[in-house]
Structure 1
């Protein structure tokens, strides 16, 4: 009973107060890649904890594992309301929850893949390669300044003609490096997975908050990757020029890929221009690693080691 209460307490804490703390944590902004791992790891450990909670409930009520109690219920064919309710909760936690999450995740990933393949086919026909920006860089004629990436068939970095006119060479290279960082980091999969968890299990703060949080952190991680090749001021200036040039334009580019937008732009620019950020990065990495171990690794180890004894 103590193990069941502790596991239930962990799931409640991970589902409600922890997401609120993660969204406000300053270290997450300084170490976005670690923060992404914490978000996704917390979701996975919570799902594993829910499965183990089903095992604990079955063991506590019936004194046996799920399969044994199911066989006993079928053999006796006499069910009390408590037994039926307990079995229903157990089946929901152990099978219903993971099945729904997996189904939504697979559907979203496959849908994204199909959309990207269709988009790449259209871009290869309409776009013009820009050899000066490296392989896979395309320019399309459009009046709205925009830059985005498409991951299918080796990946494409797409720029509009308006973006080429708005950006000097250094800032243009920084924007392209930002989009390539999205492709190299597989950010499209991370953001899709995080959003899928929210669709699969709505009204739970951990899952509904993960999608926007991971998307925001992925943009910051790509900013950091671009800033390793050029000064962070150049990346910030390129982002600001792109947003400024797009002001007043209605973006008619309907895509399902990561794209420069006005969301969190001011935060990202201030973050890139903050000179204290580099001095605080090491401390932020330590804080992020501590949260990763305390919120994800240790609970996951406990769940994995105890699952064999109860299920």
Structure 2
């Protein structure tokens, strides 16, 4: 019960404190890929802690330490007799675990299916209204509004309007489309879908609400950086200025939007990337977030396992 309480308390504190710490971190703009992984690890840490807390409440540590075969037998005994844990508490823990998993799976399915359906309808529209430009390697749509975005999926494609092409130089258009192709290669739509699913599954949780906002910003920064490997940053900044007022479909990823002007400043005033020590520290933080709850949950079982087998070895 102590382990379950520790894990549950950690989940509550982490869900409240981590978003404040991560949003205040100024280094994220210097390493958006690492920042994305850190936000995902924070969310996974909270969800893992909740699931492990319920598991620890249902299954005593001593049960885990006696081998897998005995473990499953003991689980059956737990449901029938309690085995040192209240049968009511065991049942509640199992119901909570099942409900949480079902909620997460349901919300993820809703987000993915809805986005896929919307993308399919949009792809059908592009087939009718757009034309593929081999030189640009993109779909061009006759539309006066300045838009550039990508349509993710199995056959992902970059899309740009004639309005954007009239307002961009060929070099700027190439830089913008490199940004969109970076989204497609990185499957950034799945990153955003995961954040959306968590925010829907557990609404009003600060970590999940903030991660949805921050991940949407960070994938744009990452795509900018990837595009900047092949195109001058000044071209990307100029294109962002011209596309800043353009909107994109909710299920697509676009170069313009609300973050465009902030990204222009970032492109024109690049900061030094993180050094090796800072990157190692970030990776250690990711590892701690992912492994910490599992270590807390398994430590009592490991201790029970060692004690049990040491006693057998020593003939006690």
Normalized against structure 2, the TM-score is what? 0.82
Work out the CA distance in 1 between the residues paired with 2:105 and 2:16.
22
- Deviations along 1:219-248, whole A, 9 cap, x unmatched? 11100100010122221111112226x5xx
Shift of 1:2: 4.4
Preserved CA contact (<8 Å) 1:53 1:93: no
Q: Give the alignment partner of residue 106 of structure 2, picking from 103, 118, 123.
A: 103
Preserved CA contact (<8 Å) 1:52 1:307: no
Change in CA separation of 1:301 and 1:27 when aligned onto 2, cut-off 3 Å: farther
**Per the alignment, in what secondary structure is the counterpart of residue 213 of structure 1?**
helix
Confirm or deny that 1:273 pairs with 2:268.
yes
Work out the CA distance in 1 between the residues paired with 2:257 and 2:249.
16
Q: Paired residue for 2:242? A: 241
Q: Paired residue for 2:151? A: 150
Structure index of larger Rg: 2
**Per the alignment, in what secondary structure is the counterpart of residue 251 of structure 2?**
coil
Q: Paired residue for 2:311? A: none
Q: Paired residue for 2:251? A: 256
Q: Paired residue for 1:202? A: 203
Work out the CA distance in 1 between the residues paired with 2:228 and 2:249.
28
Q: Give the alignment partner of residue 81 of structure 2, picking from 47, 67, 72.
A: 72
Confirm or deny that 1:168 pairs with 2:169.
yes
Q: Paired residue for 2:48? A: 48
Preserved CA contact (<8 Å) 2:111 2:193: yes
Structure 2, unmatched stretches of 5+, are: 65-73, 305-316
- Deviations along 1:37-77, whole A, 9 cap, x unmatched? 1112222232222121112223469989764332226xxxx
After TM superposition, the structure 1 = structure 2 runs for residues 8-27 of structure 1, keeping only pairs within 5 Å, are 8-27=8-27
Shift of 1:144: 1.0
Q: Paired residue for 2:232? A: 231
Q: Paired residue for 2:133? A: 130
Work out the CA distance in 2 between the residues paired with 1:154 and 1:19.
35
Preserved CA contact (<8 Å) 1:232 1:272: yes
Work out the CA distance in 1 between the residues paired with 2:44 and 2:76.
24
Work out the CA distance in 2 between the residues paired with 1:238 and 1:214.
22
Shift of 1:288: 2.6
Mean Cα deviation higher: 117-126 or 7-16: 7-16
**Per the alignment, in what secondary structure is the counterpart of residue 150 of structure 2?**
strand
Q: Paired residue for 1:94? A: 97
Confirm or deny that 1:293 pairs with 2:296.
no
Work out the CA distance in 2 between the residues paired with 1:55 and 1:279.
41
Preserved CA contact (<8 Å) 2:176 2:255: no
Q: Paired residue for 2:307? A: none
Change in CA separation of 1:224 and 1:282 when aligned onto 2, cut-off 3 Å: farther
Mean Cα deviation higher: 108-117 or 1-10: 1-10
Confirm or deny that 1:191 pairs with 2:182.
no
Q: CA RMSD in A?
A: 2.9
Q: Paired residue for 1:119? A: 122
Q: Paired residue for 1:217? A: 218
**Per the alignment, in what secondary structure is the counterpart of residue 133 of structure 1?**
coil
Work out the CA distance in 1 between the residues paired with 2:145 and 2:121.
21
Preserved CA contact (<8 Å) 1:27 1:284: no
